[in-house]
Every structure is written in C-alpha cells, then in structure tokens.
Amino acid sequence: MKYVRKLVNNYCVMDLETTGLSPYKNDIIEICLLKVRNNQIVDQYVQLVNPGYKVDPYITHLTGITNTMLKDKPILNTLRNEVVNFIGHDIIVGHNTNFDVRFLQAGFDETFDNEYVDTLQYSRKLYPELSHHTLSDMSAYLNLSKNTHRALDDCICTKELYDCIKDKML
C-alpha cells in the first residue's frame, strides 16, 4: 500500500469493525466498502462476518453487533473474492486506513497494492486546533453524519469528512 497525497473523486471508502485492535489476535466482524465515482456513492458492499467465536460484551456495547447477529454469517476467508473484486484497483479512503488494511491483509493473507488516502492524517494537519482527531471528534466538530461504530455509518461519515477536507484544500 502506498499513501498518496492527492485529492481524488473516484475511490473506495473502507471501514471495518473488529473484535479488538490487533490484526494478528483479533478478527473482522463487519466490512463496509463504498464505491465513489465523481464524488457520488454509486455502490456499496456491507457484510457481517462470523469470527468463529463469541464477541466480547465490550465490542457488542461499542458496535451494537451481537453474537446472534453473527451466528449465521459467513466466515472471512469465504468473502475474499467479493471484497477484493469490489475494491479492484481503486484508491482506498479511510480514517486510520492502515488499521483496516492491516486487518484485511492478515485476514486474507494477502498484500494489497492499492494507493490509499487517510482522512486521519489530513484531519491532524487541517484541524490543528483539535486535541483529538477520531472520526467521532471530526463528526461532531464538522457536524457530519453520526459515527456509530457500525461500518456503513462510519463509511458515510468518512466520505463526508473527505468531502470537507477536499473543500478546505481547494
């Protein structure tokens, strides 16, 4: 993956929900990808993922994703082709993109060569007055869609944040 410092209008927004912070000890429980063309969302991929074990109550409290919701969902390795094909060669946009990409790479045992844009890095540079730049902080500060720790909502919020970043830089 190569970080790019260019503003683009065609890309794929990515957000994952996981069982923890380590891509080597924890697993993906939700994937969302939004395909954006000419700054408009034209397609989406949203999938809950069964990690093969019970999700900790803290993660359920944070995300609202319950063990019952995951029980009959596919396991990650069966989704590889769908996810890789959806992303294609798009530039990946995310908030703390490295986190999500590391989980996908570990989960699929595959290296992604896509370029990526990280709204967290842009936020730190463009909004130095803030002490924190989490997606929740940025959402509140810029009055964006609510960041709920569900992948679709967080992708929409990230896209809106990216739009604000582009507007501020132009």
Question: Would the pLDDT of 4 be above 90?
Answer: no
Confidence of residue 6 (pLDDT cuts 50, 70, 90): confident
Rounded to whole angstroms, the Cα distance separating 68 from 53 reads: 11
Which class for 60: exposed (0-12), middle (13-18), buried (19 or more C-beta within 10 A)? middle
- pLDDT for the residue numbered 61: 96
Task: Supply the mean pLDDT for the chain.
Answer: 95
Phi, psi of 146 (to 5 degrees): -65, 135
- pLDDT for the residue numbered 3: 78
Does this model's pTM top 0.75? My answer is yes
Rounded to whole angstroms, the Cα distance separating 73 from 52 reads: 10
Confidence of residue 116 (pLDDT cuts 50, 70, 90): very high
Q: Which residue has the tokens 């794929």?
A: 12
DSSP string, 37-101: ETTEEEEEEEEE---SSPPPHHHHHHH---HHHHTTSPPGGGGHHHHHHHHTTPPEEETTHHHHH
pLDDT above 90 as % of the chain? 91
Rounded to whole angstroms, the Cα distance separating 25 from 134 reads: 23
- pLDDT for the residue numbered 133: 97
Identify which of 28-37, 103-112, 147-156 has the greatest average pLDDT: 28-37
Rounded to whole angstroms, the Cα distance separating 44 from 121 reads: 24
Of the candidate ranges 19-28, 45-54, 143-152, the one whose mean pLDDT is the lowest: 143-152
Question: Would the pLDDT of 1 be above 80?
Answer: no
SS3 state of residue 129: coil
Amino acid (1-letter code) at residue 90: D
- pLDDT for the residue numbered 92: 97
Q: What is the CA radius of gyration of the chain?
A: 15
Amino acid (1-letter code) at residue 129: E
Question: Would the pLDDT of 119 be above 80?
Answer: yes
| 59-115 pLDDT tens trace | 999 999 999 999 999 999 999 999 999 999 999 999 999 999 999 999 999 888 999
Q: Which helix (H) or strand (E) holds 123?
A: helix 119-126
